[in-house]
Amino acid sequence: MDFKSLNSAFKYINKDLQKVFPQVAEQVKQLVQTEIWELLYQSYTPFQYERTTDFIRSVSVNKVKLLSNNTIQIEIYYDASKIISREVAGSKWNQHMSYSDGDKYQSNDVSEYIPLWLERGTDPNNGNFFPRKGMGAMKKVIENEQLRIENYLLIELKKKGYDVIFIG
């Protein structure tokens, strides 16, 4: 393809970048979900409650954009609306609902707090019934998978016909 200016070449490339961003974001989302699977779902099997996959399915991608410093910003977050509270009959605890004294259940939906509690942890000094260290899945992916994320972008651009190499 012939371009009349460097600016027109950049515009052309930027259009293709915008097309590959969603695929790259989906790959990053899968990295976060894999991290959650390993850090949480495979680390223990709860006996007090029946585990759902709501938390891992709550990982969502909203926006991907190219910033002025030529870095990509991918907005990945936990969508608490995908974490559903359920009352459970029998000896198991309710799912994603608050708990108090003994066997009494408060039917307050705590779904919106689940990502915060699991990602960052809970502080025993604040009266948390089950204090725990946060798993930091998103932070771990950002810190440990940067090269893999950049490689996803290169792969997607190669699929578009670009001959790209990573210099860095």
Q: What is the pLDDT of residues 147-168, one digit of tens each?
A: 888 888 888 888 988 888 777 6
Residue 165 lies in a domain: no
End-to-end CA distance of the chain: 27
Q: Is residue 75 part of a domain?
A: yes
In the numeric block, which tokens belong to residue 36?
């959650």
Q: Tokens representing 155?
A: 């792969």
Total domains present in the chain? 1
The answer to whether the Cα torsion of 127, 129, 133, 136 is positive or negative is negative
Q: Is the pLDDT score of 34 beyond 90?
A: yes
Give the model confidence (pLDDT) of 111-138 as tens digits: 777 788 778 887 767 666 666 788 888 8
70 domain residue, yes or no:
yes
Task: Give the per-residue pLDDT at 93.
Answer: 59
Among 8-17, 24-33, 59-68, 102-111, the range scoring the smallest mean pLDDT is 102-111
pLDDT at 58: 93
In a domain, 168, yes or no: no
Its domain, for residue 142, covers 6-159
Q: Which residues pair with 65 in a beta bridge?
A: 73
Mean pLDDT, rounded, of the chain: 80
Residue 59 within a domain: yes
78-99 pLDDT per residue, tens: 998 998 776 666 655 555 556 5
Q: Is residue 164 part of a domain?
A: no
Q: Are 151 and 166 in contact (CB under 8 A)?
A: yes
For 119, counting Cβ atoms within 10 Å of its Cβ (0-12 exposed, 13-18 middle, 19+ buried), the class is middle
Asked whether residue 167 is assigned to any structural domain, the reply reads no
Q: Which two tokens stand for residue 10?
A: 């950049």
Q: Is 70 left (phi over 0), alpha (psi -120 to 50) or beta?
A: left
